[in-house]
């Protein structure tokens, strides 16, 4: 019984810490049943992944936010070295791409993100929300969503941690089942 209490206590402490400023929370995660890690090898062979970043959660140049996202994704993705870019290189051609939507409005649909990246956004003072999808054409392969409080800019470690965790969920090391947390809607945060 003491062992169970220790585990329950650790879980409670972790959930309480998740609400602290600077700690990323990621309540949304989805992996298509047909996901294969070979999608990443294919993308690497094509030169990388075009990444569409929608919105800017900071009072910073949009290019700085774009660079923070693509750089962090490139450092965190599983598998072959993958380059992420917001402007495709000459001759680039791939159905696979990534969409990152900052501060999605409550109720934004992750399942529609690949075909409708410009969904409604809403300001969240002191909080950065994100919804991201790894796409094949206009279909979602994986998606993740979460938020962090207290991030001051694109170079803030809390923001980089959020993006790193999103990348880990977008590009899992093995195929997976649908997450029990996926309800095809952005959770209220």
Which of left, alpha, beta for 77 (phi over 0: left; psi -120 to 50: alpha)? beta
Higher-confidence residue: 104 or 188? 104
In angstroms, what is the C-alpha Rg of the chain?
17
Asked if pLDDT for residue 23 goes beyond 70, the answer is yes
pTM (two decimals): 0.81
Asked if pLDDT for residue 188 goes beyond 70, the answer is no
Asked if pLDDT for residue 179 goes beyond 60, the answer is no
The CA–CA distances, whole Å, from 57 to 34, 92, 147 equal 33, 29, 11
Q: What is the mean pLDDT of residues 155-182?
A: 81
137, exposed or middle or buried, with CB in 10 Å at 0-12, 13-18, 19+?
A: exposed
**Banded model confidence at residue 10, pLDDT cuts 50, 70, 90:** very low
Task: Please provide residue 16's backbone torsions phi and psi, each rounded to the nearest 5 degrees.
Answer: -70, -40
74-104 pLDDT, tens digit per residue, is 997 667 889 999 999 999 999 999 999 999 9
Higher-confidence residue: 25 or 175? 25
* Region of poorest pLDDT, from 3-7, 36-40, 85-89, 112-116: 3-7
H runs (alpha helix) in the chain? 2-17, 38-45, 62-76, 157-170
Domain ranges of the chain: 21-170
């Amino acid at each position: 019984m003491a062992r169970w209490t220790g585990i329950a206590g650790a879980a409670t402490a972790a959930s309480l810490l998740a609400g602290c400023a600077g700690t990323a929370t990621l309540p949304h995660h989805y992996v298509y049943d047909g996901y294969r890690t070979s999608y990443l090898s294919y993308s690497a062979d094509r030169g990388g992944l075009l990444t569409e970043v929608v919105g800017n959660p900071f009072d910073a140049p949009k290019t700085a936010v774009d660079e923070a996202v693509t750089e962090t994704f490139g450092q965190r993705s599983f598998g072959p070295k993958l380059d992420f870019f917001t402007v495709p290189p000459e001759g680039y051609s791939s159905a696979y791409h990534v969409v990152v939507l900052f501060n999605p409005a409550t109720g934004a649909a992750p399942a529609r993100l690949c075909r409708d990246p410009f969904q409604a956004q809403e300001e969240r003072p002191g909080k950065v929300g994100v919804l991201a999808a790894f796409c094949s054409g206009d279909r979602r392969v994986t998606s993740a969503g979460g938020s962090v409080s207290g991030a001051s800019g694109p170079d803030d470690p809390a923001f980089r941690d959020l993006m790193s965790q999103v990348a880990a969920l977008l590009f899992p090391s093995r195929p997976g089942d649908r997450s029990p947390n996926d309800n095809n809607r952005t959770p209220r945060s």
